[in-house]
């Protein structure tokens, strides 16, 4: 686990409203977006200065860092609640429900960053004080800090502002951080997962901006989409939590929202449908779901004005946190039950496809073309037009291939790259103490082709073959990875050879696979004694 460096610790643990002098200082505090009438977005130094200003005026706020970017920028984490400091030990010992809110994973999608700074200022001024009764908030307002500094007028060209430019989608290495949750190539992703291991938030909210279809929603949203996510998590989100947030946005702003999607007609399809994005856990909210935690994706509408996107995101987060506050004990109970629910012996999906949810009315809209006053390029601006179009919704996934989860995987000790990845994810392992004969399953490879095109600096690999059962002598020192642990669903997805987002897919096992022979990681359906 990475060391968390505390930048500023406020001494008192009492949650209270600010004094009159503090309120006066906060009244003049503006984000860069607000101060420029939403022409500009905050740079890294602006974010840090804003956080320090709120921290100085509010005793319930504690500031720390949770890691570093590839260029060495410290990633700020703001802890808000009835706790004496920002350490993971203190936060977890509070017994409160922990809600993590992350913004700016794509640094051209900046509305979440501005909205979270505004939320901190509003809370310091006395808003939402009741949240501290049951929650501790963990807010990371500028995750892709390096990308944030690479401001160009040409980034996200048709998005309606900020007209003075915004940062870029990838980090400084060229990685899309929202594709890096399984392979963990970037220091930012490793820092984020270290935060999740240390603070173990019950809820994670990930803030984006979408630039897809010309619909009539100010916000689209999504729960975890991987079919192996425990149904009690997705059920609460789909049946109660997200509908409550939808009502909150409609009542508070008069704006509509719906499940994330794009309206299009795939090649060979009979009609247009409303399609969500990908189920794989390389995406943040799908990854969080496989860690047995509640995950909510928010996507502000790219063609609404920058100001409307910020306000829509702020209102959406307030609604989501309101529900977490009102159902805090219930959220914790569900998470604890899912952690205790062993998946050993159950059928889990390896690959998946869209599931047809049947016809729904999707609110479609229209846009006008306007010119960016600085670049002269065309931007799109939403019109206040709403028309319902019925189409089939493809908002969830169903497995197309599955296998029975074993009791444990057996990893040769020389596969150090793979073992380091498991450790980064927080996976619990043991070491076999003596040579042992075991009934094992070994995956015999027929072929393991790589993609013709590079993606995220990898050529993804697909492993084909089948398991065969045998008795084998397993040497002492072999690393045992039990499935009976809270991260069992994630372990399965990382280590199964046919997994569509596992470590074999991301080339972590290339050296072993290129030598020929069977898949080097074995599995067994019987418990294995270890240390």
pLDDT in tens, 373-394: 999 999 999 999 999 999 999 9
**Among 15-19, 245-249, 512-516, where is mean pLDDT lowest?**
15-19
pLDDT tens digits, one per residue of 277-293: 999 999 999 999 999 99
| Cβ 461 vs Cβ 452: under 8 Å | no
Is the pLDDT confidence value at 60 over 90?
yes
Is the pLDDT confidence value at 21 over 70?
no
- Which residue, 425, 426, 516, 528, is CA-closest to 479? 528
Is the pLDDT confidence value at 12 over 50?
no
CA atoms within 13 A on the CB side of 402: 16
pLDDT of residue 2: 33
The fraction of the chain above a pLDDT of 70, given in percent, is: 95
- Which residue, 528, 517, 513, is CA-closest to 415? 513
**Dihedral sign from CA coordinates of 411, 413, 414, 415:** positive
pLDDT tens digits, one per residue of 319-355: 999 999 999 999 999 999 999 999 999 999 999 999 9
Is the pLDDT confidence value at 10 over 70?
no
Q: How far is CA 338 from CA 333, 343, 355, 485, 488, in A?
A: 9, 10, 24, 10, 11
Rounded to an integer, the average pLDDT of 398-426 is 98
Is the pLDDT confidence value at 201 over 70?
yes
CATH of domain 20-397: 3.40.630.10
pLDDT of residue 97: 98
Rounded to an integer, the average pLDDT of 289-303 is 98
Rounded distance between C-alpha atoms, residue 428 and residue 430, angstroms: 7
pLDDT of residue 211: 84
| Cβ 335 vs Cβ 140: under 8 Å | no
pLDDT of residue 24: 52
Positions of E strands within 59-141: 61-68, 74-80, 97-103, 135-140
Mean pLDDT of all residues in the chain?
94
| Cβ 379 vs Cβ 372: under 8 Å | yes
| Cβ 423 vs Cβ 302: under 8 Å | no
- Kindly report the backbone phi and psi dihedral angles of residue 184, in degrees, each rounded to the nearest multiple of 5, phi listed first: 50, 50
pLDDT band at residue 531 under the 50/70/90 scheme: low
Rounded distance between C-alpha atoms, residue 8 and residue 52, angstroms: 9
Q: In what order do the strands lie in the sheet with 479-482?
A: 430-431, 479-482, 408-411, 522-524, 436-447, 464-474
Tokens of 356: 């047809």
Rounded to an integer, the average pLDDT of 145-166 is 97
pLDDT tens digits, one per residue of 65-124: 999 999 999 999 999 999 999 999 999 999 999 999 999 999 999 999 999 999 999 999
Domain boundaries, the chain: 20-397, 406-524
Question: Which phi-psi region, left, alpha or beta, contains residue 417 (left: φ > 0; alpha: ψ -120 to 50)?
Answer: alpha
pLDDT of residue 27: 82
Is the pLDDT confidence value at 17 over 90?
no
pLDDT of residue 6: 33
SS3 call for 385? coil
pLDDT of residue 529: 81
Tokens of 396: 């969830």
Question: How many other C-beta atoms can be found within 10 angstroms of the C-beta atom of residue 351?
Answer: 17
């Amino acid at each position: 686990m990475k060391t968390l460096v505390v930048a500023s610790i406020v001494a008192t643990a009492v949650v209270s409203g600010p004094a009159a002098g503090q309120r006066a200082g906060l009244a003049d505090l503006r984000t860069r977006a607000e101060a420029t009438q939403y022409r500009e977005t905050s740079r890294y130094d602006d974010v840090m200065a804003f956080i320090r200003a709120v921290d100085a005026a509010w005793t319930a706020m504690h500031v720390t860092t949770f890691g570093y970017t590839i260029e060495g920028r410290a990633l700020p984490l703001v802890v808000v609640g009835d706790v004496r400091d920002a350490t993971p030990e203190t936060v977890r010992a509070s017994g409160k429900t922990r809600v993590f809110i992350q913004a700016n994973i794509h640094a051209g999608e900046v509305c979440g960053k501005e909205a979270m700074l505004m939320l901190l200022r509003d809370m310091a001024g006395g808003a939402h004080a009741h949240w501290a009764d049951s929650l501790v908030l963990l807010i990371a307002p500028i995750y892709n800090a390096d990308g944030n500094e690479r401001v160009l007028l040409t980034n996200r060209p048709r998005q309606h502002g900020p007209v003075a430019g915004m940062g870029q989608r990838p980090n400084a290495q060229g990685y899309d951080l929202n594709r890096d949750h399984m392979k963990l190539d970037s220091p930012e992703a490793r820092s984020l997962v270290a935060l999740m291991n240390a603070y173990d938030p019950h809820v994670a909210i990930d803030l984006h901006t979408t630039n897809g279809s010309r619909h009539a929603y100010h916000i689209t949203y999504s729960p975890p989409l991987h079919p192996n996510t425990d149904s009690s998590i997705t059920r609460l989100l789909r049946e109660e939590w997200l509908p409550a947030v939808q009502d909150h946005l409609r009542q508070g702003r008069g704006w509509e929202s719906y499940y994330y999607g794009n309206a299009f007609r795939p090649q060979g399809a009979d009609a247009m449908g409303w399609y969500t994005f990908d189920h794989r856990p390389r995406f943040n909210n799908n990854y969080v779901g496989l860690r047995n935690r509640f995950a909510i994706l928010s996507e502000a509408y790219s063609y609404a004005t920058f100001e409307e996107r910020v306000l829509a995101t702020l209102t959406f987060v307030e609604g989501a946190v309101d529900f977490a506050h009102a159902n805090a004990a219930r959220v914790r109970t569900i998470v604890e039950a899912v952690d205790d629910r062993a998946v050993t012996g159950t059928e889990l999906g390896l690959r998946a496809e869209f599931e047809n949810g049947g016809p729904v009315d999707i609110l479609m809209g229209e846009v006008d073309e306007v010119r960016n006053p600085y670049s002269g390029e065309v931007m799109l601006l939403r019109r206040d037009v709403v028309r319902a179009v019925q189409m089939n919704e493809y908002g969830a996934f169903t497995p197309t291939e599955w296998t029975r989860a074993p009791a444990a995987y057996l990893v040769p000790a020389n596969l150090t790259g793979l073992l380091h990845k498991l450790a980064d994810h927080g996976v619990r392992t043991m070491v076999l103490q003596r040579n042992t004969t075991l009934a094992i399953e070994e995956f015999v490879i027929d072929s393991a082709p790589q993609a013709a095109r590079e993606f995220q600096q990898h050529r993804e690999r697909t492993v084909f073959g089948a398991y065969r059962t045998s008795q084998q002598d397993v040497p002492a020192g072999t690393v045992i990875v039990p499935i009976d642990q809270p991260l069992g669903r994630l372990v399965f997805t990382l280590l199964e050879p046919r997994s569509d987002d596992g470590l074999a897919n991301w080339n972590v096992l290339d050296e072993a696979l290129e030598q020929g022979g069977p898949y080097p990681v074995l599995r067994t359906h019987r418990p294995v004694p270890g240390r």
